[in-house]
Every structure is written in C-alpha cells, then in structure tokens.
Structure 1
Amino acid sequence: MMNKKINRVAVLGSGIMGSRIACHFANIGVEVLLLDIAPKELSEEEQAKGLALDHPAVKNRIVNAALQNTVKTNPSPVYTKTVLNKITTGNFGDDMAKIANYDWIIEVVVENLDIKKKVFDQVEQFRKPGTLVTSNTSGIPIHMMAEGRTADFKANFCGTHFFNPPRYLRLLEIIPTLETDPKLVDFLMHYGDKFLGKTTVLCKDTPAFIANRVGVYSIMSLLHLVEKMDLTVEEVDKFTGPALGRPKSATFRTTDVVGLDTMIKVSKGLYDNCPQDKAHDLFKLPAYVEKMEANNWLGDKTQQGFYKKTKTADGKTEILALDLKTLEYRPQQKVKSATLDLTKPIENVKDRMKVFASGKDKAAELFRASFFGLFEYVSDRIPEISDELYRIDDAMRAGFAWDLGPFEVWDAVGIADAVEGMKKYGHEAAAWVHEFLGAGHTTFYKVEEGIKKYYDIPSKSYKAVPGTEAFVVLDNLRGNRTIWKNSGASIIDLGDGILNVEFHSKMNTIGGDTLQAINKAIDLAEKEYRGVVIGNDGANFSAGANVGMIFMMAVEQEWDELNLAIRMFQNTSMRIRYSSIPVVVAPHNLTLGGGCEFSLHADHVQLNAETYMGLVEFGVGVIPGGGGTKEFALRASDEYKDDQIVQNALKDRFLTIGMAKVSTSAVEAFELGYLQKDKYSISMNRSRLIADAKAKAIELADAGYTKPVQRKDIKVLGKQGLGIVYAGANTMYSGHYISEHDKKISEKLGWVMCGGDLSSPTEVTEQYLLDLEREAFLSLCGERKTLERIQSIVTKGKPLRN
C-alpha cells in the first residue's frame, strides 16, 4: 500500500455535499480548504453597504453562506462546533493556487461534465504531481472526467462517492478508472475504513455505481407495486420499516427527506444509460410520481411530498399522507398486519425474513413481490456492477441503512425456496445461482472459525470477506466461543485472554442478568484470563437501567429488594473500576444512564465516534444511582483548584446531570465531562470497535496493570455547596423553568454531590457518597410524581414533565 498521509484536504464546491464532506474531514482533525465560485453580482445587502464585487466578503459570500447553512442543519454535520476552526474558505478565482499545498483534492461541483472539466483544468494548473484528485459525482462516468488529462493526473484520479449526510451514512464508494494506480485504490479503501469510519466499497465505473443502481431499482419497483397492489403510503412505510431491518423513515418518508427530485434524476439517468437492463422499463416514473414532479411536491424541501405537515384548527401539528389515487392529502390511517404482529417478538432481523416470506397478508405479499424481483435483479448485476456478491450487500447496508443486504435476505429466506417462489412472480434467478444450487451449496455466506466467508462466483468456492480480518464480529463468534450466558447477557471468549460481555436485552437495558454477567466475567478473568471488554453489536450500547423493574418494585413497595438491586448496580460499577484486571467499555450510539455509569468507571473507554452519552435519570424522576452521582462528585473534587472559585466546578457537574445533557458525538462526551483525558480513544469505524477495545485491554494487561485503590480523599463542600445548589434550584423554580418535583430532585442531587449538610468542606470516601446516592435514589422512588414519570416512559416511551 502506498505510504500517503492526509493532513490537508481541498474541497472544491460548497453545496450540500461539499460543505458536509468538508465538515466530516474537519471532524477527524484534517485541515480543510473549502472553495466555490465568486458571485457575479452584488446582493441588495452588499449594495447597501457600498461593497464592490472584488471585496473579500463578497467574493466568499457563496462559500461562507453555504457552510453556515450546513452547520445549522439537524442532525449536525460536526462532532462539536470547535472543529469548524479546521475549515478555511475561499473562492476559485483567488485561492485555487493554494491547492498545491494539499494532499487530496475532492471535486464536488454541479453534475455537469463541462463544468467539472473546467474545474479540472484549474486543478491541473496548480496541483503538485502525485497529489490525489477525486470526484464525488453520482451520475457521470469517472473515465469521462479523466479524458485529456496528463498521465500523472489519470494515475492519481478516481471517484469517491460519499453518501449524504456523509457524517452519518457509512458508505464510501471507490470508483477507479482503468488508468488509476491500483496502490491508490488500496490506500483509499483503507483510509476510508480506518480514518473516515466508512464501509468502503470498490465499484466498477457503471451507471449509478452499486448502491444507487440497486437502491433506486428497489424504490422504483416499490413505486410500481404500490399501484398494482393498491397500497397506501402508510401501508408501504409500515411494511418496509424497522420490522424489515430498514430505517424508521422506511420508503416514502425517506424519499421526502432525500428529495423526490433526486430519486427522479437517478432513475431517469438509469433509464437513459442502461438500455440493456432487463428491468429497464421499471425506471420509468409511474403516473402519480410524474404528477407530483409537475406539482413540485418534492418532499421536505418543498414542504410537501408523500407527506405534508399542517396545523389543525386548535394549532396542533398534524402530518397528512398523500392519497396516491386522488393525489389529495388526508389524515394518516392506522395500519394493521398479522405478519408484522408475528415478527414483533423476534429480535433477530434474519429470523423475521422467513415470517415475511410465508405470511398471508398484504405485508407478506409486498415482501415477496419486491424481494423476488430484487433477487433476480442483483443476481443479474454480477459481474456487470461487481464481481463479488458481498460488495452489493455492503453497499446497501452502508448506503441505504438496511440491516441486511439483498443476498443476506436471500440466505435468510432460503435460496432454493426463494428461487422456486420467484417463478410464480415472473422472476428468474441468474444462471450462476442455479449452478450454485446444483453444486449442493445452500447459503451465499457461512462462518468458519469466526471468519465470515462469501461464495466467490468465478472460483466456485468460499473466500473470507476481504478487509474484515481487523474486525471482531460477535455474531461470528457466538456459537462455540460463548462460555457463559443468561437471558440478558453472554460472555464470549475473544481470544488472547480477553473476555467480552455482550448485552442482549431489549434496547440493551441493564437488569440483574446483565449485572450478574459483568461480575461473572470479571471473576473468570481474575482467575484465568487477562482482561474484560464490555461491548455489543446491538443498535445501541445501552438505553440504561431497566426502569420497568424499578417501577414494579417501587409500586409494590419492596424497598429492601430495591435497595439490594441499587447496591448491586453500584457494586458492579465499582467492580469495573477496582478489579485486578483491566476492564474496557466499548460504547456506541445510545449510551444512557447505567450504560454511561459503566463507562465512567472503566479503566478505558473505547468508543465509536457516534456515541450519544448521558446521565438522563432526571427524566424519570431520580438521580443517577449506579455510581454516576458519586463519580461526578469525585471528578468535581479533582477539578477544585485553590486559586479558583471551587463552586464553579461543582455547578458545571451538577448542571450536566440536572439538565440530563446527552452528547451528540464522542468528542462532545469528553467536553461534557463523561470521558477523561488519556482514558478514552475513538474508533471511527463502528465495525472496528470491539477489536480496538480488545487491543486496548491487551495493551493495559501487557503494561502490568495493577488494581487501583479506592478513593478516600474526595473533597465535598457540605453546607457551603448546598446553599448554592438550593438557591439555584429555587430561582429556576420561581422563574417557572422547572417544576416543583424537578426542584426536589435537584436538591437531592445537590445533597449527594455536596456530601450532605457537613458544616465545612470535608474529605470523604467513595462508599460514603455511594450510600448517600442510594438513599436519595430510594427516597425519590417513593414519590408519586417519580412513579408517574417512570410509568410514562415504560408505557408510552415518552418523558413526562410533572
């Protein structure tokens, strides 16, 4: 692999994609130059100020406005606002010469070959030989952009197609031309995976590459089936959403978010450029979509698409759905489905596929009609768009956020059964599939000794999925490497003396089973292993403690049992910190309440860049009771400096819990004080998280890990701190910012963090604070308003402000 370092990136074009790509490079610490055209005329505001066209503020107006608008979008394209310091803006006229000092130049201007060629003329003029140049086009063949360029430009040029929004969608398609240096391709595949956190997929230079070719086929096929099967917008979104392992926004809501015009553009491009495609006619727009286009009903960007947000007479927001027959908006209708009901108790998405395939209602019928067509389509696309089937699955999972790619769904349904079923729907699998079945094979994928292998069509044999050697996938280890399990968690041997505790409760909530598993793993590791990782492959690391259990105990007034349960939670957090082996916690996505408390007590936190961490117990009417309040008091104590007002450190820590602040990224989790300097590392690619955590546990063990000593020197402020806490809570209550119950919880939190009403600042032990924390938690569980809050979360999934 070539030895390149990417320290500085120039992004040419500051539209929606250009600005967001610039933000994501800034997220990972790269210096970015973002350029765009200079305006040809003054705005009214500029005229009023008496500015001329050559004024720097005017020349950079387009690029600066684009970047500012991007940063305001939700969800945010940046991990934290401070990363924007890494981005410098400019314009093509004044600043193009600066690209000579940049390691990678990414073109993201409009989808017009002539305009792109003009930009590349300028790039050729200023770039240094050997500089990497890529285009983020989604519709123009890559080789056409390289025509007429120098040999050095061609060798260092290819397509790098990011998906929008680049921070959140994990796909990066790499599209080389015949003249691209193969070493450059290897470099980009690795760089995208390791540093940008992407699933990098190598594509051929074919129309729409892989993800959009298959994804737009899938959407267009659905749009035609809707008419044929007389389905409503709500039915389709219900049948093609989370139950199927797809995002909540499913089909039509996603189209509204992305923009109907984007989908139309890609489908028209495929219709024009793929005349030999067997599904060619499917890329024609159904009549109702043509009418929507004519009406400019393009989704969120035009305030209406398949859905429309309106206000009712009493001022409430209502989302209406489009009736596809009459093209009029009407209130949404409830959708019922026996097949969906049958899938509800099934946690594993793969296991739901057979239920869909054999169901008897509309949801099952739509599944068969759409997937049988998709199976034919993807089997026909090999070797046109990819020689390997796993690349198609990777592209669909990462680009369209599907839990399972088409070949994985086919495996789950049963290949031979599906091939038979396809015939009834007028579909035929490609010849290589029949040959594959004839040779006695039954699945496209299999796991051998923890390694996932795919069926390689040219060699007619199974090969390891390349690039995954660096990943630890718990799914592939579960069978013979599970050494202990209960209903809430499993202990899996990762090899090299490291154990992993994997949660598998709903939303990975923490109950007695989970605590038992963590303690068991530490027991085992202290006797015959070297370290423990707490991590899982679920959608979220953990939504916190099982509040349903707390609610039951509190309602039944089983105070002794509840006291024991909280004590066990606290003891487990303390065991994570004070065991004789290193414990590394590996959070990702939601890491709330107890999940956050485990992270607070870890020897090291190896977390994914997309980690949303917080102590959110206030929302259910309690304070953090698994060691979180104690830990924040301890950290505040460590921040007290003689030359500063010590109450400020206490106030900051108090407000983080009191306002239930949740980080929007791993970087922000550090800024909020959930992570400590030198005790955390970020894995950009979620697929590498468990492997990175394992490596960290080994590193700590190899460095001669010794058991830390419990703290007895935690400075608490007693009455001096309580006065500030109580006065603050009172002011907030008087100003109607918080309710009377919030005031009570605030005072309990302050009581613990200040160590009670001690007459002067005093040094206390961790156990002293844990006892206060548990006492406060228990007393709040006896409050009617706390129980109402917990009940609202348990029954409706919504926080209650009372």
Structure 2
Amino acid sequence: MAQIGKVAVIGAGVMGAGIAAQVANSGTPVVLLDIVPPGAANRNAIAEGAVAKMLKTEPAPFMSKAAAKLVTTGNVADHLDLLAECDWIVEAVIERLDVKQALYAKIEARRKKGSVVSSNTSTIPLAKLTEGLPESFARDFVITHFFNPPRYMRLLELVTSAKNNPDAVRVLTEFCDYRLGKGVVPCKDRPGFIANRLGVYWLQTAVVTAFAMGLDVEDADAIIGKPFGVPKTGVFGLLDLIGLDLMPHVNASMAASLPPEDPFHAMNRPAPLIERMIKEGYTGRKGKGGFYRLNREMGKRKEAIDLKSGDYRAQKKARVEAIEDSGKSLTKLFEHDSVHGRYAWTVMSETLTYAAMLVGDAADEIESIDEAMRLGYNWKSGPFELIDKIGVDWFVARLEAEGRAVPPVLRAARGKSFYRVEDGKRQALTLSGDYKTLHRPEGVLLLADVKLTSKPVLKNASASAWDIGDGVLCFEFTSQMNSLDPDIVTLLGKTIELVKKEYKALVIYNEGSNFSVGANLGLALFAANIASWNDIQGLVAMGQITYKTLKYAPFPVVAAPSGMALGGGCEILLHSDAIQAHAETYAGLVEVGVGLIPGWGGCKEMLARWQRANRLPRGPMPAVGKVFEYISTATVAKSAAEAQEMMILRPGDAITMNRYRLLFDAKAKALKMAGNYKPPEPATYVLPGPSGKVALDMAVDSFVRLGKATKHDRVVSGVLAEILSGDGTDPTETISEDRMSELERTGFMKLIRNSDSLARIEHMLETGRPLRN
C-alpha cells in the first residue's frame, strides 16, 4: 500500500460524521455515505444533513469551513462505486453484526485492491466481524476505534490480526498519527479494548459507590477529580457529557461480552434513579439536564440532583475536608477517616486493581493502558503512574490487609515502581518483573524527556530555557496557566542575549494545557489598586522592548503554541519569525474583554500582517477595519486553521496535527531557517487618520444602539480606534513601529486607569467570565 490519498466513511451519525470531519481537517478528501431515508426527495439527505449540522455545532467538528468542502456526500444505494477511489474505508454504522457484515459484502465488491477497511466498533471482536467473509477482505480489515468527539479526543485504538499486511497497517498508523493527530494505541481483540474496558468500570464503580455511601454528586466529582488528575467534570459531570442514555447500552454490551468472572459484573447494578431520569428526558447536556442542570424557571439557577431523594436542589460548591486535609498526598486522602476518604479509596483502589488485571489481557504493556486513559479519558496520569505516586508497596499492603486479590503485575512491582529512569531513559516494568526502555517514535521530541537528562540553562520562578540539541534553545513558560509576568519577560530578555552568543535558534514552547492565557491580571489589578502607575507603564514598556528585541534578533525564533494563546501569549506569536502551531491552537487578542487593548505590540503586528496581505482592497482603511473588527470583538481563532484565516499565522507558517510532534517540527523549522537567516525589515504604517477614526467610531455607535455593544465597549473601542487610525496622523505620511508602540502604550495606560476597566478585570479574576458593563 502506497499512501492514503482519499478516505470513505460509511455511516453519517455523530461518530461517523465526526471521523469524516477530522479526515477533512487533515486536508484529505473524504466521501461520507449513509442510507437513503425512506420516502425522502433528497436521497443524500442524511449525509448532507450531517455536514450542515456540523457546520453549526459547538465545539466545531470542522477546524475551518474550508475543510467541509473536502467532504463529498452520498448514499450507499447510489454511490458505493466511489469506494474504488478510496485507500481507506471506515465503517461507522449501527452496532449490529448482521448489518455490518451485509455492508462488508457490498464494500468488498466495489473497493480497490489493497485498500484498508476498518470498523469503528468498540464492542464487537474483530474475529466476529470477519467471520464467513472472503480471505481477501479479512487480510485488509482492522478495527480503528475513535473516541468522541473525533476532532478533540486524541486516542485511536487499533486492533489488527495476524492476517493483515504489515505494510498496510504501517501506512494506516502513520496516517492516523501524522495526518489525523491521533495517539495510536495497539490493542488486543478483547471486549471494550483498553480505554472503555477500564473507563466504563471506573465510571460504574464511582456511581454505584456514590449511591451506596449517600454522597452528593458535587463532592463525588471533587474527590474523583483534581486529586487524581481527572478532568474537572469528575464522574457525574462526565456522564452528563457522554449522555446518560448511552451508558445502559454500553454496560449491557460489556456484560454480554465479558467472562463471568470479570469484576465488572459485580458493579453492573441497576440504578432506579438513573432509569427514571432517562425516561423523563434527563439524559445529560443533550437533554433537559442530567446529574446537573440549569433551571431556567428559577433564573438559570445551577442545580444538582440529590442521589438520595432524586430531587433537584441548588448546586453547591464542594468543600471536601478530606481533600483539604490531605494536601497533595493520595495516601493521606485514602486514609482520611471520613466517608469522603473511604469513597476515594473504594473507587480508585477498585479501578487501579482492575487496570492491573488487564495487563496481559487487554494489552501486554502497562504503558499502553496508561496512554489509553490519558488520551481517551484525559487523565493527567495513567493508572500505573498513579500507583507509583501512591507507592506500590503501600498500595499492595493495603489490598492484602483487606484480603483482596493482588494481580500478578502488582506482585511483580513490589519493592519497585512501574516506571523508572535509568541512564537518562524512561523504563517501564513488564509482567515478568524486568524493565524495558521506552522509545519515542521517530519525529517525536518532548520537553519532558529533555528534562530527564539535563538541567535548565536559565531559570526563574516563572520560566525556564532548555538546550534541546543541535544549537537550539527552548524557552518554556512555567507560571500558573502560563500567564505572563515580569519574571517571564525578564528571562526572555536574558534568553535572547544567550542565544545571540551561543545558539543558532530559539523555540518558544511548553507542554502545558495552554501556551499562555495572557498577562497576569492579578498583578495588574494589584498595581492599579495601589495606584502604582509608573510600575504598570514600566512593565508595558519592558514587554514592548523585549518583544521587539525578539522580533529583530539575529537568529530565527519559532513559536510552537498549543491550546490557548491569548493576549500577551498571542503577541509572542505575532513577534516570532515563524509559527509551528498545533492544530488545536486557540489564538486571539482578547484584551477588550477586560477593558484594555493589546499593549505589547499586538495592534501594530496584526496591522502589519493585514497591510502586507493581498486579500483586501488597496488603501489604509481595509486593513485597519479588519484588525479593528478582530480586536474590538476579542475574536479567538478556534483552530490553527482559523488562525491562518485571521492572519495570526502567515502563509509560510505551518500546522502540526499530532501534539507529540510539535516540538520536533518547530525545532526542524528553526534549524532550516538558521542556515541563511536575516532579521525582518522594520515595518512602517500608513494609517487613515481622523476620518478613519470617525468611521470606526460610527460602527461602534451603531452596535451600541442595537444593544450589541455596551457603554464601556464604546470607550475601549474608541481608544483602539485612536491607535489604529494613528491619532491624528496625516494619511499621506508613514509612521514608524516605535510610534505605533507609543500609541499602544498611551492607550493602555488610559484604560488601566479607568474604573470600568478595573471592574472588568476584577470580575474576570473572580468569575472567569467577562463583565458586560
């Protein structure tokens, strides 16, 4: 098999349509087919409807509207001949063996020779799916189990057979890795594979135990949440997200396919309250609510269900003494003499013991199980990494003290840990009790691995600089949520000077959830409350100088963002020579949301990008109008592809689909640029002057009259209009970059002194939401 150039997805339900969207996001043409609806005038209505719905869905399955144009819709009655053009055919229809096998016979008659066919099933074994079908079909058939939603969930479980062509499996794996951005985890052909086998058991155990112990759902979610590195939804919030009505089907499937001795059966108990909720339409976020709901009849009051009475009540903020008393110690949490401590131990000891049982069954390697839970359920640490944090010996001793069975891999780990670092290399324990070295795939470079064998070249409380080899330095934010503060700006300045002397290039990158959420608002509010205006102005000036030094440094600077890159974080992207962005980068200049304007060069850099673009009519006003629109509305690109459309990413910038490959790609780009690097030419600007400001003000006034903008929006936008129009500048003259920086600095200081802006900052810090004043 050569390469995958075109894909087909059969089944345009939520999952199938989502898979098709992610294929299109990769830039690959995809055919999406479904049945002909009975009596429908439009025979392609289901597939076409799925695409139309995805274009309106939030969070969006498509990374850009342009991606949707790569989807060709059709139906299985009229368009199966299109399969002859496809290198990979994904089946995502109803979980019924007879329906799937009937479809496979039709696929086999029309597909091209050597094309891969896969099922997205999570419940039917591969051997069953291919039973009775031709050998030629079985040779090319695998299971590719995506997680929902396919764009955002990074796990793809791959089940193959001894009959498969190894070359075809390699090509498919590489496509899913490089092009779709998936962490491909090989699995054995077992019920539920890895992530759902363990994840469903974890969820079921947490629910059953919460009912048995009479816990409040908020407390249960707090306990089985942050302490264990589980997303803040916890368990009940996650079930609301998944859909309560889905779980009985999943549980029934697991119960039917797992052997009688499997511990899942003991936890698969009926829950009359959940059955009643489903019957009444309380199926979670997609329904009228679930364990949590928004009561619109009581002023959008947030409510939670009482597991004992079955009635809704006002949602409370969880204050769990067991968590507060234990600090970050999981053993102290487990030992806490309270119902909450007992809940934590019961749920997690059952879950972690079950994970240990799966070694040799669902997967042979502990690292596969850990990776599946990290990528499939967004756990920060896999189950074996959690056991290492708890302490293997402590964990085993408590199991034995309670008379519980200890799985073989736990016995093999006694006196050891599941992971260790030996000679600078991470190793994992095997079922035999030996260790094996873990090797990253080619093209994967992680800062976490660099840290195993080296110390930072520079470091302070909020940032570090690391030598990542070949003459490239990596600058890393380490503050809370990677918010930007004076320490980061100071160390960035020192890093620039160091690279000048000793290195070829600089990459700005980190492995946090977000690249940077912007400037530290708490520090800004504190300084404003004590009227420390000189300090604030000094920080603004320092940031401008440092970012300008970064832009004109005599070496290439590559920014490698992932997650949110907002405000000052976005401004770092704008001052870099190149951007190598993870596909899931959400970038924008959002300062107006807190009553401010970009003060570290965001206005001038966005304006320079749009003035150089060939997308707009000639003259100063079109570019000014576009930049004003984005900044005044705090527009955030919801993908790297959208950031390209907004000109945050330029045509020469690049996108990496797989998060694990981002640093490697950024480093390669930096080294390629270093060969014959020349700093950019200084920018100059032609601005529209007073008439341009009037036009911008009139646009804002109309939004205020329509109720789409507030009184203070007018004030903030007025300052932004002053900057972008040039504050009285003659439209026939050019102004310098330094003058643009001065306008930004003046505008920022004017707004930081405004009490309404300070109210916005305070509200954002307290609630995490913008104040509409």
Q: One fold, TM greater than 0.5? A: yes
Q: Are 2:742 and 1:771 equivalent residues in the alignment?
A: yes
Q: Assess, with a 3 A threshold, how the Cα gap between structure 1 residues 39 and 760 changes in structure 2: closer, same or farther.
A: closer
Residue 682 of structure 2 aligns to which amino acid in structure 1?
Answer: Q
- Residue of structure 2 aligned with 1:37, choices 26, 35, 38: 35
Residue 293 of structure 2 aligns to which amino acid in structure 1?
Answer: K
Q: Are 2:505 and 1:531 equivalent residues in the alignment?
A: yes
Q: Following superposition of structure 1 onto structure 2, how do residues 658-697 of structure 1 map, counting pairs within 5 Å?
A: 658-678=632-652, 680-697=653-670
Q: Are 2:603 and 1:629 equivalent residues in the alignment?
A: yes
Q: How much has 1:330 moved relative to structure 2?
A: 2.5
Q: How much has 1:429 moved relative to structure 2?
A: 2.3
Counterpart-to-counterpart distance in 1, 2:31 and 2:649: 31
Residue 364 of structure 1 aligns to which amino acid in structure 2?
Answer: G
Q: Are 2:357 and 1:391 equivalent residues in the alignment?
A: no
- Residue of structure 2 aligned with 1:794, choices 739, 761, 765: 765
Q: How much has 1:202 moved relative to structure 2?
A: 0.3
Q: Give 2:694's aligned residue.
A: 723
Q: Assess, with a 3 A threshold, how the Cα gap between structure 1 residues 262 and 450 changes in structure 2: closer, same or farther.
A: farther
Q: How much has 1:459 moved relative to structure 2?
A: 7.2
Q: Provide TM-score, normalisation by structure 2.
A: 0.96
Q: Following superposition of structure 1 onto structure 2, how do residues 243-282 of structure 1 map, counting pairs within 5 Å?
A: 243-282=227-266
Residue 319 of structure 1 aligns to which amino acid in structure 2?
Answer: K
1:296-323 deviations in Å (ceiling 9; x for gaps): 643234424323332234xx11233222
Counterpart-to-counterpart distance in 2, 1:297 and 1:786: 41
Residue 751 of structure 2 aligns to which amino acid in structure 1?
Answer: L
Whether the aligned pair in 1 keeps the contact of 2:475 and 2:492 (CA below 8 Å) is: yes
Q: How much has 1:645 moved relative to structure 2?
A: 5.1
Counterpart-to-counterpart distance in 2, 1:637 and 1:63: 41
| SS at structure 2 position matched to 1:714 | strand
Counterpart-to-counterpart distance in 2, 1:375 and 1:245: 14
Q: Assess, with a 3 A threshold, how the Cα gap between structure 1 residues 623 and 296 changes in structure 2: closer, same or farther.
A: closer
Q: How much has 1:108 moved relative to structure 2?
A: 0.6
Q: Assess, with a 3 A threshold, how the Cα gap between structure 1 residues 151 and 513 changes in structure 2: closer, same or farther.
A: same
Q: How much has 1:276 moved relative to structure 2?
A: 4.0
Q: Give 1:739's aligned residue.
A: 710
Residue 138 of structure 1 aligns to which amino acid in structure 2?
Answer: S
Q: Assess, with a 3 A threshold, how the Cα gap between structure 1 residues 245 and 25 changes in structure 2: closer, same or farther.
A: same
Q: Following superposition of structure 1 onto structure 2, how do residues 99-178 of structure 1 map, counting pairs within 5 Å?
A: 99-178=83-162
Q: Are 2:154 and 1:181 equivalent residues in the alignment?
A: no
- Residue of structure 2 aligned with 1:417, choices 367, 377, 394: 394
Q: Assess, with a 3 A threshold, how the Cα gap between structure 1 residues 287 and 459 changes in structure 2: closer, same or farther.
A: closer
Counterpart-to-counterpart distance in 1, 2:616 and 2:456: 51
Q: Give 1:373's aligned residue.
A: 350
Q: Assess, with a 3 A threshold, how the Cα gap between structure 1 residues 795 and 468 changes in structure 2: closer, same or farther.
A: farther
Q: How much has 1:291 moved relative to structure 2?
A: 4.6
Q: How much has 1:784 moved relative to structure 2?
A: 1.2
Q: How much has 1:734 moved relative to structure 2?
A: 3.8
Q: Give 2:9's aligned residue.
A: 11
Q: Assess, with a 3 A threshold, how the Cα gap between structure 1 residues 639 and 129 changes in structure 2: closer, same or farther.
A: closer
Q: How much has 1:294 moved relative to structure 2?
A: 5.4
- Aligned Cα root-mean-square deviation (Å): 2.1
Q: Give 2:24's aligned residue.
A: 26
| SS at structure 1 position matched to 2:342 | helix
Q: Give 2:285's aligned residue.
A: 300
Residue 187 of structure 1 aligns to which amino acid in structure 2?
Answer: V
Q: Are 2:51 and 1:67 equivalent residues in the alignment?
A: yes
Q: Assess, with a 3 A threshold, how the Cα gap between structure 1 residues 454 and 190 changes in structure 2: closer, same or farther.
A: farther
Whether the aligned pair in 2 keeps the contact of 1:9 and 1:32 (CA below 8 Å) is: yes
Q: Give 1:46's aligned residue.
A: none
Residue 588 of structure 1 aligns to which amino acid in structure 2?
Answer: S
The 10-residue stretch of structure 1 (61-70 or 215-224) with the greater mean CA deviation from structure 2? 61-70
Q: Assess, with a 3 A threshold, how the Cα gap between structure 1 residues 64 and 792 changes in structure 2: closer, same or farther.
A: same
Residue 672 of structure 2 aligns to which amino acid in structure 1?
Answer: E
Residue 2 of structure 2 aligns to which amino acid in structure 1?
Answer: K
Q: Give 2:678's aligned residue.
A: 706
Counterpart-to-counterpart distance in 2, 1:84 and 1:456: 45
1:378-426 deviations in Å (ceiling 9; x for gaps): 1111201111111011111111111111111001111111111223444
Counterpart-to-counterpart distance in 1, 2:681 and 2:9: 51
Counterpart-to-counterpart distance in 2, 1:66 and 1:729: 37
Q: How much has 1:135 moved relative to structure 2?
A: 0.5
Q: Give 2:78's aligned residue.
A: 94
Residue 307 of structure 1 aligns to which amino acid in structure 2?
Answer: Y
Whether the aligned pair in 2 keeps the contact of 1:268 and 1:283 (CA below 8 Å) is: no
Q: How much has 1:448 moved relative to structure 2?
A: 4.2
Q: Give 2:186's aligned residue.
A: 202
Q: Give 1:341's aligned residue.
A: 324
Whether the aligned pair in 1 keeps the contact of 2:701 and 2:714 (CA below 8 Å) is: yes
Counterpart-to-counterpart distance in 2, 1:469 and 1:456: 25
Q: Are 2:739 and 1:761 equivalent residues in the alignment?
A: no
Whether the aligned pair in 2 keeps the contact of 1:174 and 1:185 (CA below 8 Å) is: no
Whether the aligned pair in 1 keeps the contact of 2:465 and 2:473 (CA below 8 Å) is: yes
* Deviating 4+ runs (over 6 angstroms): 640-643
Counterpart-to-counterpart distance in 2, 1:478 and 1:547: 33
Q: How much has 1:357 moved relative to structure 2?
A: 3.8
Q: How much has 1:458 moved relative to structure 2?
A: 4.2
Q: Give 2:406's aligned residue.
A: 429
Percent identical among aligned pairs is 35
Residue 285 of structure 2 aligns to which amino acid in structure 1?
Answer: D
Q: How much has 1:780 moved relative to structure 2?
A: 1.2
| SS at structure 2 position matched to 1:520 | helix
Q: How much has 1:31 moved relative to structure 2?
A: 0.6
Residue 155 of structure 1 aligns to which amino acid in structure 2?
Answer: R
Q: Following superposition of structure 1 onto structure 2, how do residues 581-596 of structure 1 map, counting pairs within 5 Å?
A: 581-596=555-570
Q: Assess, with a 3 A threshold, how the Cα gap between structure 1 residues 236 and 4 changes in structure 2: closer, same or farther.
A: farther
Whether the aligned pair in 2 keeps the contact of 1:470 and 1:688 (CA below 8 Å) is: yes
Q: Following superposition of structure 1 onto structure 2, how do residues 546-695 of structure 1 map, counting pairs within 5 Å?
A: 546-639=520-613, 644=618, 646-678=620-652, 680-695=653-668
Q: Are 2:301 and 1:324 equivalent residues in the alignment?
A: no
| SS at structure 2 position matched to 1:34 | strand
Whether the aligned pair in 2 keeps the contact of 1:394 and 1:405 (CA below 8 Å) is: yes
Q: How much has 1:246 moved relative to structure 2?
A: 1.6
Q: How much has 1:125 moved relative to structure 2?
A: 0.8
Q: Assess, with a 3 A threshold, how the Cα gap between structure 1 residues 473 and 557 changes in structure 2: closer, same or farther.
A: same
- Equivalent residue pairs, number: 772
Whether the aligned pair in 1 keeps the contact of 2:227 and 2:330 (CA below 8 Å) is: no
- Mark the runs of 5 or more structure 2 residues left unpaired by the alignment: none
1:54-103 deviations in Å (ceiling 9; x for gaps): xxx52112222233233322211001112111011111111011101111
Whether the aligned pair in 2 keeps the contact of 1:452 and 1:464 (CA below 8 Å) is: yes
Counterpart-to-counterpart distance in 1, 2:282 and 2:616: 63
Q: Give 2:383's aligned residue.
A: 406
Q: How much has 1:677 moved relative to structure 2?
A: 1.1
Counterpart-to-counterpart distance in 1, 2:756 and 2:355: 55
1:405-453 deviations in Å (ceiling 9; x for gaps): 111100111111111122344433212322332xx5x221123455432
Q: How much has 1:797 moved relative to structure 2?
A: 2.5
Q: Give 2:751's aligned residue.
A: 780
